[in-house]
Amino acid sequence: MIFLFISKLLLSNFRNYEKTTISFSSNINVLYGRNGSGKTNVLEAINILSRGKSQRITKDNELIMLDKDAFLIKGLLNSNGYESTVQCSYNQGKGKKLLYNGQSITNSKELFSQLPTVSFLPENLDLIKGGPEQRRLFLDDILVVISVQYKDYLNRYSKVLYQRNQLLKDIRKKGLTKDALDSWDNQLIYYGDRIIKYRYKLLYEIRPFLQKNYVKLADSEETVTFQYTNTLAEQGEDQYDKLLLKKREEDIARGYTSVGPHRDDLLLLINQQKARSFASQGQQRSIVLALKLAEVEYLAKILGRWPILLLDDVMSELDVQRRMGLVSLAKLTGQVFLTTTEKDHVPEELGSATYFFIDNGSIQRKD
C-alpha cells in the first residue's frame, strides 16, 4: 500500500484566501474556527485537486476571490517519499487548467488515482432518510472517478433521457408521432443497462466492508446490508425494451420516463428490515458512517492507497460514542482533514493530531 498525503497546499485568490501556504501533517489535521472563517473552503480546494472540480458548485467562477480574475490551487503530494505536484488554475478568460507534475491532465480518473479523496458532510448523515437521488449520487460519485467509461455512460444516458422526456412532452402537446421514440429508447437501453451493471458490481464489492464497519462503529451485531432497487426488475419485466413500450402511454401522459437507472434506489436494511422506518436515528447514522467508510476501504483496495478523508463539520452532529468510533476508524486510514467550530468536539482519542486555527481566510498552525 502506498502511503499518500498532501504535505503542502497553496491557495491564491481562491474563495476567501488571497495568498496562503500551509504545511500539513501526514496524519490528522484539525481545522477549527468560527462559522464563515474558511474551513470548508480548504477542504473544497483539496477536493478540487482530487476531482478537477468542486462537488459543492458547478460554476468555477464562484471560486475566484471577489474582484479578482483568476485562482490557483497547488498541492504538494508525498507518496512513499516521492513528491509530486498537482495544480488547478482557473482564469476568467482562459478557463480551467489541471496539471500533474507540470503536465496537463484531462483524464479525471488518472487525477483521482493520484489523489483520491472521500468527503463527508453533515447532510450525508441523512442519506437514509433523504430522497433516492442522494443515494444514487452516493453510487455515481464513486463510479465516475474510478471508471471513465461509467462517467461517459452516465453523461450520455442523461442527455438521451433529457431528449426523450422532451419528446414525450411534444408528443402529448403537439401530437408528434410516437415512432420517433424508438431510436431514443434504443440508446436509453444501451446506456441504462450498462449503468445498472456497474452499480450492481460496485455494491457487490463494498458489501463486506459495510457490515464489518457497522459492527465496529455501533459495537453491536445487527446485520446491515443493502439492496439495489431496480425499477426495471421491480416491474416484473426483465426486458428493458418491452417495459419501455408497456410504459409508453403512461410516460407520454406524464411527460417523463418512469423506469430506468435514474429512478432506481438503494435500500438499506438492518436485520432485514428497512433501516428508514425500522432503525433509530443513532443506528441510521452508524449505517451511513459505515457505508462511507466502506467507500474509503473499497477505493483503497482498488487504488492501492488510502483516500484522504475530508470530514467537514460532522463531529457536531454525532454523539460521543459515534464520534469516537469514527475517529478510531479514521485513524486506521491515511491522512485526515477534519473541520470543527468547537475544538472540544474532537475526541481526545485522536492523539497526535495537528491543529490549525482559521480566522477570516488566514490559517495558523498551532504546534
Ligand X SMILES: Nc1ncnc2c1ncn2[C@@H]1O[C@H](COP(=O)(O)OP(=O)(O)O)[C@@H](O)[C@H]1O
Which residues are near ligand X by CB under 6 A? 15-16, 33, 35-41, 62, 64-66
Q: Going along the chain, which residue ranges are E strands? A: 4-14, 17-23, 28-32, 70-79, 82-91, 95-100, 103-104, 117-120, 224-229, 265-270, 273-274, 308-312, 336-340, 354-359, 362-366
Tell me, by CB under 5 A, how many residues bind Mg ion.
1
Residue 64 Cβ vs ligand X, minimum distance, rounded to whole Å: 6
Are 70 and 91 spatial neighbours (Cβ–Cβ below 8 Å)?
yes
Residue 245 Cβ vs Mg ion, minimum distance, rounded to whole Å: 48
- The entry of Mg ion, ligand X, none near residue 38 (CB within 5 to 8 angstroms by kind) is ligand X
- The entry of Mg ion, ligand X, none near residue 80 (CB within 5 to 8 angstroms by kind) is none
Q: Name which of 25 and 37 has its Cβ closer to Mg ion.
A: 37
3-state class percentages of the chain: helix first, strand second, coil last, to nearest 5: 50, 25, 25
Q: Name which of 257 and 340 has its Cβ closer to ligand X.
A: 340
Q: Name which of 46 and 143 has its Cβ closer to ligand X.
A: 46
User: Looking at the DSSP assignment, which residues form a beta bridge with residue 30?
Assistant: 338, 355
- The entry of ligand X, Mg ion, none near residue 41 (CB within 5 to 8 angstroms by kind) is ligand X
**The C-alpha cell that represents 223 in the structure block:** 446485520
Q: Name which of 65 and 139 has its Cβ closer to ligand X.
A: 65
Question: Under the criterion CB under 5 A, does residue 40 sit at the interface with Mg ion?
Answer: yes
Residue 31 Cβ vs ligand X, minimum distance, rounded to whole Å: 8
> Per CB under 5 A, which region of 33-41, 135-143, 231-239, 249-257 contacts Mg ion?
33-41
Task: Fill in the amino acid letter for 133.
Answer: E
Using only C-alpha atoms, what is the Rg of the chain? 22
Q: Name which of 2 and 57 has its Cβ closer to Mg ion.
A: 57
- The entry of Mg ion, ligand X, none near residue 29 (CB within 5 to 8 angstroms by kind) is none
Handedness of CA 14, 15, 20, 24 (dihedral sign): negative
**The C-alpha cell that represents 161 in the structure block:** 433521457
Q: Name which of 73 and 217 has its Cβ closer to ligand X.
A: 73
Question: Under the criterion CB under 5 A, does residue 47 sit at the interface with Mg ion?
Answer: no
Place of cell 484539525: 30
Residue 62 Cβ vs ligand X, minimum distance, rounded to whole Å: 6
Handedness of CA 194, 195, 197, 201 (dihedral sign): positive
Q: Name which of 44 and 222 has its Cβ closer to ligand X.
A: 44
* Shortest-Cβ-distance residue relative to ligand X: 40
Measured CA distances, 67 to 10, 36, 42, 94 (Å): 20, 19, 20, 17
Residue 125 Cβ vs Mg ion, minimum distance, rounded to whole Å: 15
- The entry of ligand X, Mg ion, none near residue 15 (CB within 5 to 8 angstroms by kind) is ligand X
Q: Name which of 33 and 192 has its Cβ closer to ligand X.
A: 33
Exposure on the CB side of residue 295, measured as CA atoms within 13 A: 24
Are 157 and 191 spatial neighbours (Cβ–Cβ below 8 Å)?
yes
Residue 39 Cβ vs ligand X, minimum distance, rounded to whole Å: 3
Task: List CB contacts of 27: < 8 A, sequence separation 6 or more.
Answer: 331, 335, 336, 352, 353, 354
Place of cell 475526541: 347
Residue 54 Cβ vs ligand X, minimum distance, rounded to whole Å: 11
Are 336 and 32 spatial neighbours (Cβ–Cβ below 8 Å)?
no
User: Looking at the DSSP assignment, which residues form a beta bridge with residue 338?
Assistant: 30, 311
- The entry of ligand X, Mg ion, none near residue 285 (CB within 5 to 8 angstroms by kind) is none
- The entry of ligand X, Mg ion, none near residue 36 (CB within 5 to 8 angstroms by kind) is ligand X
Q: Name which of 14 and 209 has its Cβ closer to ligand X.
A: 14
> Per CB under 5 A, which region of 39-47, 93-101, 151-159, 348-356 contacts Mg ion?
39-47
> Per CB under 5 A, which region of 34-42, 100-108, 123-131, 270-278 contacts Mg ion?
34-42
Which value, to the nearest 10 degrees, does the dihedral of the CA atoms of residues 165, 156, 267, 202 take?
170
Query: Which spans of this chain sit near Mg ion (rule: CB under 5 A)?
Result: 40
